[in-house]
């Protein structure tokens, strides 16, 4: 029944051998990995202008295109660098793997932590943006904004739980549609402008008497515009998600993504300048552009609006493709719970997907679905992972050399300098707005991951055997002599436990009873002796304090202390199993508590004999 | 460490034999059992006037004293009736025991449910009243009213967890103080009035053109005044809490309580008429009386105010003395979880006390500490238990007869008629104000308790053995032949499990492995065969679906199906035990899940062998 429902919801389970079929080809890889980057582009130009216009007024358009060009230059550098990363580290994981391999554990974890936080934020921000679009179209739903955002996350989670390939098609078609719509917008806009068939929109004059220095403003605009670059690292993180030859396909997707980002960002930015678009809080730049190019009430205008909302929501899909893979890599290295390593019924990392669902939902609820509060946390984490990735690659070339390493090192060295400068700019400009939260979270995450690693290492060292010889040396051939069976009353559960004990062939059975009165103990003694179990003794203690558990455990401890170093003691104890969890509260949990406490004794074998209540 | 803290907080644990010393004598029994009844009296007169004055104006004082007299008459009847209950049912439990024994299970449970709800409401209402008094004295604390109410409940819980005797002294002294203060108020008031040394307070004229019939108003006032009688049943519920001779002492306390209630209620009511007190929403009748008698700014005025607050809060103490005992009686009859039967370290029913703490806290939070919302739920439950108690006693005398039974039956018969009439009046007057909630809760509680009883009966029938012969017939002497040990890899935990199995002397060991690939399985097979365990076989299955649990369980099920009817199969399985609960998330829970699912197989012995991770 449960299986059938899961099959309908998620599709038939897949065999291990079907993994290759679940990977992306170039066609479907592009929308999955590009949706984050392209969605950032749709608002990056606006972010720049929102910083410039209040200070520079009309002069903004002079500074605007150079800033856009600088960001596109930075994009080109990053693409070159990540191309090298893909070749050098085809197992994926991007910044985490590169930093871990070349800069050491701590830097690897910082990069990994930054990626985790970045991806979780991607999902939360996208869902909030999608919900905001829905509620601004239907204001009567605005009280349900948090619920709508959670619904969008649930929808993406569901699609991704169905498997990589299914989600790629489900969410890929709208991404391509958005790209087409934007290209149509750019071409139409250029044609309309060149054919002179255009009346400029009424430009709102905004001037301030701000005395902020020009450089400061431009740097701040640059920092804001850098959101255009989030999502660029996604391809390098997710190389193993591509069909073979993985690196070739990944690089194709990387180029295609960069091409689309460049085209749309540049095109939209040029149009903004040509049409002298002035974004404000209520109407986005893209929306104004669409109105200017297609006319405010035209069908194309509404299509642009709808597709913008869709792409903003789908940006989250990149995180669903990237984060579970990175977390699986980190879990494989013992930095995260092992369950993140295992693939689910549909061959995706279902636990990672569910984590992303949970974490993003918590953020959405905590920030009441307001993306304006979430956005400042965003860019700093992304650029920390950029920087560590570049620095790691630089070190990689210097250590491993190889063909043409000097040029490659130069590319990554340049990337290091640029991303470092950008990170510094972002941190200075955004620190008080929330970047400090991101830094704090990364530090906490690194600490937590180091502790997890320690725990795993300790347990694995304790469990592991270096050789068959060591295993054989630990084998004991002695048949144990004595078993202690705690007994409170004669019941079927006790008889089952006793049958277990006799079937194991213990040479001596000790029944042990804790009672509040001598008479009760003697009565039980009489009953049990009437069973005539061979080689059995009955011992009891009387306590006036109603602390059966403590007295029993003290007895077991005393018996344990009397053991020779390599001997073991066996305790067999019945346990009532009820059919429904809710019934547990009705039944005495004494035995459960005793079992849990005895499990901490190293020299005691605890056998629990379940008795299933009707 | 933990023990020491508990000793300091709750006092040294007590021996079973010290139970007698933990019971009440008459001196300390009076404040514990009277505080609820006396606290009701302090506002009952006011409740009557609040109904009368808006309709009848000055004429209210003519109707007031007859209503008070009727309520005191009702009190006298109840005292007589409960005196007979104490004699007939010295084990306590009041309405529950009486109705259960004479009217049958369902009526017993209705009475018990009504008592439980009544007592929980007592605590919630008292705490809210106390918190309201604190916040009206210190308005700056009013945003913390819920917190203050919870703190008061916690304080009472703590006092009661320390044991009956300690709480009686802790909370008994203030009760006696209140009684003294009220007597002083009544005597001084009478003297001042008679010596003519009194100027009447300025009476606010309140008249309405309401056309409600006189009878209706008087009945409604009577229903409101009946809150004075809540708490009367407490003594009969708690007979076993008294020192021997229990029934004699209980009856003394019952008389003393009735005497105090009568004296204070009558005295205050007469003073109200003499001084023509007109209560309003902001100043209580007792407060106005104190101002008129002692002067508004006098020390005695403030003492009356403070002691009223204290007694309102301490009313809850009666519930703490009564409810845990009733719940223990009901749990002994299998209607409530068994853990309510056991006494804690200080010989009180600590689980019942903690339940009362939890339930009252939930009510306080749900109703945001507003006693005005809680009060209407109150009286109907109390009178349902009164009625069932009277009806049960009537039946009792008719069934058992005994010396002078006709007179006793007459007393209880009269009590039945009177309480039935009162209940009808209360239900009609208060139904829409919240009495329906109480009725609904009682019905749900009765249903739940019947289900609990069913569950216990089923489990006990399944577990119990009718005789030693039956027990012997279930004993099996066969030493079991075969054990299945699921194995995923060679580890120290596996070696420990294996040592357990060999020490039990199984004649045949089957290692069973579920793998995702043939190679891994064969590799493990080689390793395990190198251990050279005699009489062992290695079996494995390969699954491409990563569903190890399901495949393993299917294998066990198949082995179980192959058993002869009386044979058992043994499965031995290792379980990693981590030291801290929080570490559990890090480790694979596959074995835990398998163990939990196997425990439902009736013919499988599941031995879990814990391995404590370092």
Chain centroid, CA A189 distance in Å: 40
Choose among A462, A499, A516: nearest Cβ to B476.
A499
Tokens representing B530 are 């190198």
Contact between chains at B545 and A15 (C-beta distance less than 8 A): yes
Residues of chain A in contact with residue B530, where contact means CB-CB under 8 angstroms, are: 468, 472
More confident residue, B469 or B420: B420
Kindly indicate whether the ipTM for this predicted assembly is greater than 0.90, answering yes or no. no
Question: Which chain B residue's Cα is nearest to A585?
Answer: B337
| Minimal C-alpha gap between B475 and chain A (Å) | 6
Q: State the CB neighbour count (10 A cutoff) for residue A26.
A: 16
**Torsion over CA: A446, A452, A455, A459 (sign):** negative
Shortest CA distance from B579: residue in chain A: A600
| Structural domains of chain A, ranges and CATH numbers in brackets | 2-456 (1.20.1740.10), 480-612 (3.40.50)
Average pLDDT over residues A468-473: 82
**Cα torsion for A382, A388, A394, A396, to the nearest 10°?**
-120
Distance from CA of B550 to the nearest CA of A (A): 12
Q: Which of A346, A494, A499, A514 is the best residue to mutate to test the B interface, defined by the most B CB atoms within 10 Å of its own CB? A: A499
A544 touches B15 (CB < 8 A): yes
Residue contact A502–B479, C-beta within 8 A: yes
B13, B342, B586 member nearest A455 (Cβ): B586
The pLDDT confidence band at residue B353, using thresholds 50, 70 and 90, is very high
Verify whether the Cβ–Cβ distance B609 to A614 is below 8 Å. Answer: no
The first and second tokens of residue A128, run together, are 């909030």
Using CB atoms, pick whichever of B462, B495, B613 lies closest to residue A613. B462
Spatial distance between the Cα atoms of A528 and B516, rounded to a whole number of angstroms: 49
Kindly identify which residue of chain B lies nearest to residue A595, measuring between CA atoms: B610
Backbone angles phi, psi at A567, to 5 degrees: -80, 155
C-alpha R_g of chain A? 33
In three-state form (DSSP H/G/I as H, E/B as E, the rest C), the secondary structure along A503-566 is HCCCCEEEEEEEECCHHHHHHHHHHHHCCCCCCEEEEEEECCCCCHHHHHHHHHHHHHHCCCCC
In the block, tokens 């009353």 appear at: A489
Q: How far apart are CA A588 and CA B35, in angstroms?
A: 35
For B610, the enclosing helix (H) or strand (E) is strand B604-612
Euclidean distance between CA atoms B371 and B43, whole angstroms: 13
Q: What is the pLDDT of residue B188?
A: 92
In this structure, what token pair is assigned to residue B168? Answer: 């009686």
Residues A115-121 have a mean pLDDT of 92
On whether the CB atoms of residues B512 and B485 are closer than 8 A, the answer is yes
- Return the pLDDT at B143: 83
Taking an 8 Å cut-off on Cβ atoms, the answer to whether A579 and B600 are in contact is yes
Contacting residues of B for A342, CB less than 8 Å apart: 546
Q: How far is A477 from chain B (nearest CA, A)?
A: 7
Measured in angstroms, the CA of B41 and the nearest CA of chain A are apart by: 39
Contacts of A575 in chain B (CB under 8 A): 599
Beta bridge mates, B571: B484, B606
> Are residues A354 and A391 in contact, defined by beta-carbon separation less than 8 angstroms?
no
Q: Is the dihedral of CA B353, B355, B357, B360 positive or negative?
A: negative
A·B CB contacts under 8 A: 216
Q: Is the pLDDT assigned to residue B438 strictly greater than 70?
A: yes
Neighbours of A204 (CB within 10 A): 8
Nearest-angstrom CA–CA distance, B202 and B205: 9
The Cβ of residue B365 has, within 10 Å, a number of other Cβ atoms equal to 14
pLDDT, greater one: A273 or A209: A273
Tokens of A427: 């941190």
Higher-scoring residue by pLDDT: A250, B18: A250
The pLDDT assigned to B371 comes to 74
Burial A102-112 (b: 16+ CB within 10 A, else e): bbeeebbbbbb
Question: B16, A586: Cβ pair inside 8 Å?
Answer: no
**How far apart are the CA of B531 and the nearest CA of chain A, in angstroms?**
6
Closest among B473, B165, B119, B460 to B315, alpha carbons compared: B119
**Residue A512, min C-alpha distance to chain B (Å):** 18
| List of chain B residues whose C-beta atoms are within 8 Å of the C-beta of residue A578 | 459
Asked if B610 lies within 8 A of A587 by C-beta distance, the reply is no
Q: Which residues of chain B lie closer than 8 angstroms to A328, CB-CB? A: none
Taking the mean position of all CA atoms in its chain, how far away is CA A470? 39
Which pLDDT band, with edges at 50, 70 and 90, does B560 fall under? confident
| Per-residue pLDDT at A583 | 77
Here the tokens at position B503 are 């020490």
Task: Tokens for A383, please give them.
Answer: 């650029």
Best of B495, B530, B590 to substitute, by most chain A Cβ atoms within 10 angstroms, is B495
Over residues A387-431, the pLDDT tens digits come to 999 899 999 999 888 888 888 888 889 889 888 988 898 888 878
Q: How far apart, in Å, are the Cα atoms of B560 and each of A360, A382, B416, B565, B570? A: 45, 56, 62, 10, 10
CA pair distance B393, B391, nearest whole angstrom: 5
φ, ψ of residue B605 to 5 degrees: the values are -85, 120
Q: Cβ–Cβ of A608/B606 closer than 8 Å?
A: yes
Q: Give the residue from A330, A342, A462, A582 with the most B CB atoms within 10 Å of its CB, the best one to mutate.
A: A462
Task: Indicate the pLDDT class of residue B542, thresholds 50, 70 and 90.
Answer: very high
pLDDT digits (tens, 9 = 90+) for B454-465: 989 988 888 888
Residue B399 has pLDDT above 60, yes or no: yes
Give residues with Cβ within 8 angstroms of B206, minimum separation 6: B53, B54, B57, B278
Q: Measured between beta carbons, which residues in chain B are less than 8 angstroms from residue A337?
A: 585-586
Neighbour tally for A461: CB within 10 Å: 9
At B116, the pLDDT band (50, 70, 90 cuts) reads: very high
- The shortest C-alpha distance from B15 to chain A (Å) reads 5
Mutation to test the B interface, candidates A503, A517, A536, most B Cβ within 10 Å: A503
Q: Is the pLDDT of residue A198 over 70?
A: no
Residue in B475, B544, B614 nearest the CB of A458? B614
Interchain pair A614, B462: CB under 8 A: yes
Contact B235, B158 (CB under 8 A): no
Among the listed residues A363, A18, A84, A132, the one whose alpha carbon sits nearest the alpha carbon of residue A247: A84
Report the residue of B500, B530, B578 to disrupt the A interface, i.e. the one with the largest count of A CBs within 10 Å. Answer: B500
Q: Sorting pLDDT into bands at 50, 70 and 90, what band is B377?
A: confident
Dist. CA B228–CA B39, nearest whole Å:
8
> In angstroms, what separates the C-alpha of A555 from chain B's closest C-alpha?
19
Report how far residue B614's alpha carbon sits from residue B598's, in angstroms, rounded to the nearest whole number: 27
CB atoms B500 and A605 under 8 Å: yes
Shortest CA distance from B481: residue in chain A: A503
**Maximal C-alpha separation, chain A:** 110
Taking 70 as the threshold, does the pLDDT of residue B204 lie above it?
A: no
**Which of B471, B478, B517 is opposite residue A495, by nearest beta carbon?**
B471
Residues B445 and B355: beta-carbon distance below 8 Å: no
Cα gap A41→A225, rounded to integer Å: 9
% of chain B with per-residue pLDDT over 90: 26
A493 contact residues in B (CB cutoff 8 A): 463
Residue of B478, B506, B599 with shortest CB distance to A577 = B599
pLDDT at B555: 93
- How far apart CA B149 and CA B129 sit, in angstroms, is 8
Q: Could you say which of B477, B503, B612 has the minimum Cβ distance to residue A600?
A: B612
- Locate A497 and state its tokens: 């436990």
- List pLDDT tens digits, range B269-284: 999 888 888 877 667 7
Return the closest-CA partner of residue A39 out of A305, A315, A376: A315
The CA-based diameter of chain B, rounded to the nearest angstrom, is 110
In chain A, the residue whose alpha carbon lies closest to the alpha carbon of B18 is A544
Contact: B586, A452; criterion CB under 8 Å: yes
Chain A residues touching B602 at Cβ < 8 A: 612
Nearest-CA distance from A220 to chain B in Å?
Answer: 43
């Amino acid at each position: 029944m449960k299986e059938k429902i899961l099959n309908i919801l998620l599709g038939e389970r897949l065999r291990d051998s079907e993994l290759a079929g679940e990977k992306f080809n170039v066609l479907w890889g592009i929308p999955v990995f590009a949706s984050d980057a392209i969605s950032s582009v749709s608002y990056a130009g606006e972010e720049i202008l929102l910083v410039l216009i209040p200070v520079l007024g009309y002069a903004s358009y002079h500074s605007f295109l150079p800033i856009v060009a600088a960001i596109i230059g930075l994009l080109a550098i990053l693409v070159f660098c990540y191309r090298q990363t893909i070749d050098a580290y085809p197992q994926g994981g991007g910044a985490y793997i590169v930093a871990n391999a070349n800069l050491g554990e701590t830097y690897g974890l910082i990069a990994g932590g930054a990626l985790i936080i970045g991806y979780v934020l991607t999902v939360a921000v996208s869902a909030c943006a999608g919900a905001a679009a829905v509620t601004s179209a239907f204001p009567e739903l605005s009280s349900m904004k948090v619920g709508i955002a959670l619904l969008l996350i649930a929808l993406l989670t569901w699609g991704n739980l169905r498997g990589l390939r299914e989600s790629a098609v489900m969410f890929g078609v709208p991404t391509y549609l958005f790209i087409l719509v934007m290209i149509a917008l750019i071409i139409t806009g250029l044609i309309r402008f060149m054919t002179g068939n255009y009346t400029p929109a009424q430009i709102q004059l905004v001037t301030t008497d701000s005395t902020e220095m020009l450089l400061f403003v431009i740097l701040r605009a640059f920092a804001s515009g850098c959101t255009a670059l989030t999502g660029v690292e996604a391809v390098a993180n997710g190389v193993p998600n591509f069909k073979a030859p993985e690196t070739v396909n990944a690089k194709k997707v990387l180029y295609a993504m960069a091409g689309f980002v460049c085209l749309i960002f540049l095109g939209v930015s040029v149009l903004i300048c040509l049409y002298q678009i002035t974004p404000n809080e209520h109407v986005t730049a893209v929306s104004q552009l669409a109105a200017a190019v297609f006319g405010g009430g035209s069908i194309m205008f509404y299509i642009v609006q709808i597709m913008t909302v869709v792409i903003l929501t789908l940006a989250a899909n990149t995180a669903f493709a990237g984060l579970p893979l990175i977390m699986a890599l980190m879990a494989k290295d013992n930095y995260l719970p092992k369950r993140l390593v295992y693939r689910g019924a549909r061959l995706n990392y279902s636990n990672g997907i569910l984590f992303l669902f949970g974490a993003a939902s918590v953020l959405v609820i905590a920030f009441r679905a307001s993306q304006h509060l979430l956005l400042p946390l965003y860019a700093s984490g992304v650029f920390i992972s950029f920087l560590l990735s570049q620095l790691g690659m630089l070190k990689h070339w210097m250590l491993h050399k190889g063909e043409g390493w000097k040029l490659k090192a130069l590319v990554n060295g340049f990337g290091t300098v640029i991303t470092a400068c950008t990170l510094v700019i972002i941190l200075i400009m955004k620190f008080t707005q929330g970047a400090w939260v991101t830094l704090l979270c990364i530090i906490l995450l690194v600490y937590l991951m180091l502790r997890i690693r320690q725990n795993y290492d300790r347990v694995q060292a304790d469990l592991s055997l270096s050789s068959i010889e060591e295993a054989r040396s630990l084998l004991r051939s002695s048949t144990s002599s004595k078993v202690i069976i705690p007994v409170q009353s004669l019941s079927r559960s006790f008889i089952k436990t006793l049958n277990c004990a006799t079937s194991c062939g213990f040479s001596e059975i000790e029944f042990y009873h804790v009672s509040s009165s001598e008479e009760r103990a003697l009565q039980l003694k009489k009953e049990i002796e009437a069973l005539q179990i061979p080689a059995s003794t009955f011992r009891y203690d009387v306590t006036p304090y109603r602390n059966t558990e403590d007295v029993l455990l003290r007895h077991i401890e005393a018996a344990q202390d009397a053991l020779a170093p390599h001997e073991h003691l066996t305790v067999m104890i019945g346990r009532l199993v009820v059919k429904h969890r809710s019934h547990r509260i009705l039944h005495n949990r004494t035995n459960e508590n005793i079992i849990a406490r005895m499990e901490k004794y190293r020299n005691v074998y605890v056998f629990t004999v379940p008795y299933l209540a009707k």
